[in-house]
A and B are shown apart, each in its own frame.
Chain A
Amino acid sequence: AQSVTQLGSHVSVSEGALVLLRCNYSSSVPPYLFWYVQYPNQGLQLLLKYTTGATLVKGINGFEAEFKKSETSFHLTKPSAHMSDAAEYFCAVSDRANAGGTSYGKLTFGQGTILTVHP
């Protein structure tokens, strides 16, 4: 069964500092990988995803993530934090296909990381 671990339930950075949110997955086959963001009182919004091809993927709002198969990681970074980045961030995975050759897209989420940005 797949699992996702996000190291650090809370991360605090200063405005302008590097943001690094960690995500590791456990899966017998490298899955599809996603980062979602949740702002207060809103739904989950996709930041970026890795499906195939280049392992460094860029998303919205200046975020990017790198898929490292050898480390089973998909850490999220942003060079310079902005106050508006304060939110909860979720790493998620889904199967490429199950044994029957079909996959229904179920997402398995990590615990979430709350990012706080200080002035």
Chain B
Amino acid sequence: EPEVTQTPSHQVTQMGQEVILRCVPISNHLYFYWYRQILGQKVEFLVSFYNNEISEKSEIFDDQFSVERPDGSNFTLKIRSTKLEDSAMYFCASSVRAIGVTQYFGPGTRLTVL
């Protein structure tokens, strides 16, 4: 069964460093998402991406964050200058369309900012 994959599974970085989290969505999916879950808190929406542009973003997704789909298969989340409060589990998800369908989630990348 097709699945969403994410790399790395765990990333440790120093505050102020740039990190890139990578995702490979399911191949025929058109809508892509990033969510995060700070330890002990809710899963929170960050951004949705369709047709090579951001379709919606949350207030969390500020100028320090960016997403791109560089080669038609990978979907990346970049954090330019990490902060301690960026430590969280980051989930990528994809779906065939936006409305009322299953979003398939990857296993997540645990980001630890020291």
Contacts and interface: CB of A to CB of B under 8 A. Distances in A.
Interface of A: 32, 34, 36, 41-46, 49, 51-52, 90, 92, 94, 96-97, 102-112
Interface residues of B, number: 29
A103 B56 CA distance: 9
Nearest to A32: B100
5 contacts: A43-B106, A96-B99, A104-B48, A105-B33, A107-B35
Interface string B25-56: 00000010101000001111100101000011
A58 to B, nearest CB: 15
Given A32-B99, A43-B4, A110 B105 contact: no
Interface of B: 4, 31, 33, 35, 41-45, 48, 50, 55-56, 58, 91, 93, 95, 97-108
B100 A51 contact: yes
Nearest to B106: A43
A65 to B, nearest CB: 15
A72 to B, nearest CB: 18
A109 B108 contact: no
A43 B105 contact: yes
